[in-house]
Amino acid sequence: MNSTTSIFLAIGITIGILIGYSRYSLKKNRSKKTPDRPFPHQWREILVQHVAFYNRLNPPKRTQFENRIHIFLLNVQIVGIDTEVTHLDRILIASGAIIPIFGFDSWHYSNLEVVEIHPDKFLIPNTQQYANGLVGWGAMEGRIKLSRKALAHGFYDTNDQKNVAIHEFVHVLDKQDGNIDGKLKKVMNEIDIMPWLQLINNKINHIHTGNSSIRKYGSTNHAEFLAVVSEFFFENPEKMKTEHPELYQTLDQFYNPKPKSKNLPKEQQKNPPKDPREVKSALMN
């Protein structure tokens, strides 16, 4: 191979890499579709009937929630595996996705492409174990698998601390820093993380001794603890506030960050700068 041929080959490889990278970047940062029609009243009826979180919101926040639901459904494909996808499936899945990120105005699941809905428990790939929910990895990256039976139960019973949709989407949120480890580094700062880990360890010890109302699965590891207590927090906030006030306060700070204005000039305190993290709690007092 002569030097001229080598140069052209190198140029060709470089162009190929650049084209591949641009396609990858376009896929990972694809533009977000937005609604071009009003929120369907059938969807609103499903929210009213089945989603307690939505019913705790004031009217303006309900409208925001509906818009976030609509955007999610335009940007994430929901497919049925051995079943047909229903409107109820779509709205419950989208609700489970939006509830954990509702406090972050500009955040959406840019890397999530598909949610699979299965009739019941499904086999975890390359294992002999069954699951109700699963966040994909490797070849399954960008996918979530959910059991319809568990999905429906999660929204029908708000007293059992179980909501598979919220659970799995919290794992997706947790994964944004590259690791599913119970540390929301995109939300927490370094000062927050150490007290949070200490609180996790204390609560897990209480679960192990049988002295806790947090369900046992939360003691599996830090990631599962975050997902389990998030289910509890969003499903039954008043019970958590009564039984686990410190945990409730910490999760409220994570999911409903408040403006920090005490060190700002008076003019800025009255009109603080808008930031994705600086969103007042959506829940009514």
Per-residue pLDDT reduced to its tens digit, 32-78: 788 889 999 999 999 999 999 999 999 999 999 999 999 999 999 99
Q: What is the pLDDT of residue 259?
A: 64
Per-residue pLDDT band at 186 (split at 50, 70, 90): confident
Of all residues in the chain, the percent with pLDDT exceeding 70 is 79
Question: With 70 as the cut, is the pLDDT of residue 108 above it?
Answer: yes
Which residues, 6+ apart, have CB-to-CB distance to 37 below 8 Å? none
Using left for φ > 0, alpha for ψ between -120 and 50, and beta otherwise, residue 210 falls in: left
Based on its alpha-carbon atoms, the radius of gyration of the chain, rounded to whole angstroms, reads 21
**pLDDT score for 274:** 38
Mean pLDDT of the chain: 82
pLDDT at 260: 57
Residue 73 in tokens: 């459904």
- In which band, very low, low, confident or very high, does the pLDDT at 31 lie, cut at 50, 70 and 90? low
Percent of the chain with pLDDT over 90: 60
| Run of H or E including 49 | helix 41-50
User: What local confidence, expressed as pLDDT, does residue 134 receive?
Assistant: 94
Contact (Cβ atoms closer than 8 angstroms) between residue 135 and residue 163: no
pLDDT-derived band of residue 14, with 50, 70 and 90 as boundaries?
very low
DSSP 222-258: HHHHHHHHHHHHHH-HHHHHHH-HHHHHHHHHHHSPP
189-199, pLDDT tens digit by residue? 766 888 999 99
What pTM, to 2 d.p., does this model score?
0.79
Q: What is the pLDDT of residues 220-268, one digit of tens each?
A: 999 999 999 999 999 999 999 999 999 999 999 999 887 655 454 444 4
Distance CA 165, CA 95 (A): 8
Would you state the structure tokens that stand for residue 248, as one six-digit string? 């409730």
Q: C-alpha angle 188/192/196, rounded to 5°?
A: 105
